[in-house]
Structure 1
Amino acid sequence: MKKLFTIFIVFFAIKSYSQSGSQSYFKRLFDTRGLDQWDGNSTSPDQLEFAWAVPAHMEALVLMYEKTLEQKYAETLIKCFGNTIDRRDDLRNPTLGYPIVYDYRHISGAAWSTNHYNATTDTTGLPYSHLVHSANITYPMAKFAAIVKNNTAIQNLTYNSTGRYAGQNYITIANDLIQKIKETLAYHADQWYTEPGSTTIGYYKERNDNNPPIAFPGEILPFNMQSSVGRVLVQMYRATNENNYLTQLNQIANFIKSNTKLNPTLGSNVW
């Protein structure tokens, strides 16, 4: 928990420096906290770390790489990507020899299931793949892919560390990340709904099949969770120029807009 708190503090510091242009202090803070490094592949059988902590670290790293283009941040980031994908529910056994994880429907898919957030406090129950966790995990991947796809100067750089992507160049890694993200979005596709009678409003819901072990089955996800997926779609559109991401993104934006109201003083919608 202490490490996660540190990551979030540094993450918000990076956000600040990216806007102010004063990079040296925050870069030094990030590096001296050891966040520019990572020890190696996790060996824990628990998927919970992929809900918030690992994605926060990856997001901080992708911001550092975006603002500095220093290869050391990309190297650590790609190692994190590789380990995270290796630990996906359906890939754990082929890549690491760990037991495959099955969700409450006995489906093993392109996600990272956990029973930690089940409706009961008994974390021995069957796991559920939360869309917000999938979005947290895939957002840094999508953003890195977009950075690479839109910068020819870095596409032929080679990742020289260990793990899934050892020895591959950045454009090859970016293309594989895009494919992996598509698989995760496809896994959650049955949670996507369009507003009855509308083609311009859409949203995600919690699953409601086979008695999911969560508190609000079938409910429309709150705005922050819709937005977490929305920003993945933004980066996927940047990385691929595929219009389906832009269409879906606009549907989520229209859903949020239709359920909020304009505050003219703030110049933005509030809820």
Structure 2
Amino acid sequence: MKSFFTLLLAMSWSMGIAIGQLSFTELSFGNRIYEMPTTAWNAPEIGHRLKLNPPQTNADPASTAEFEQGMSLLGIQFGINHNGGNQGTNSNNSKLARTTNISLLLCYQYFLAAQLSVGGFFGYDYSSTKNAGSDNGFSNGEFVIYPFIRAYFLPFSLTTLAFFAQFGTRFGFGTAKQTTDQGEFKDNLFRFQLALAFGMAWFITQRVMLELSLGDLGWGIRNLNEKDSDFRRKENEVFFNLVSKGVTLSILFRLGAFSNE
């Protein structure tokens, strides 16, 4: 019985030391040796083993569309504006003219920085102004070259919705036609304009962006050279247009790979 209590006391003492050190060591009783594997359970290692790592996913590097340096966009712009002025009168109590404008332009942009781009429009623009109640009036058909520089502003730290301000020079080459009761007269047309434009842009997918023009303002000149004669005239233009007068919408497609692909 005494040997039994001695053995029990030795085992309790040995286990107490092992637990206190957080490791197992050799235990010996009499002529027998009990070997246990030694495993250190230190707090830093336990913390490392219990650390929860975020799950690894194979996310598309272009899963978030954004403006970035070196990005290229190619697309088209369509604009339409119609004002049926025959519903009102001017200060002379004469019916207002009807105005129609339609444009279809190819657009390209290259981003010099994350929110700064250069680019241009190229295409065709048609406009007409006719007196209410008759076919008399003016019309212009011209090919357009419109280089510009544009700055984007991202409100509320958004990366897919932005507003932009644009400065550009617009060149137009075409024909101006005037219709009167005496007949039809045609002129060769050259137009030059300096314009500030404003709008908003939205990435609807990683590679497709929509742009809406909110308006423009500027100054320009229009040179008219009457066909089959040496008669010329120059006209100054000042313009201010708002989105309420028409809709100008662009759809652009992102070219090439994303920078983090």
Kindly name which structure, 1 or 2, has the bigger radius of gyration based on alpha carbons: 2
Tell me which protein shows more strand as a share of its residues: 2
TM-score (norm 1): 0.19
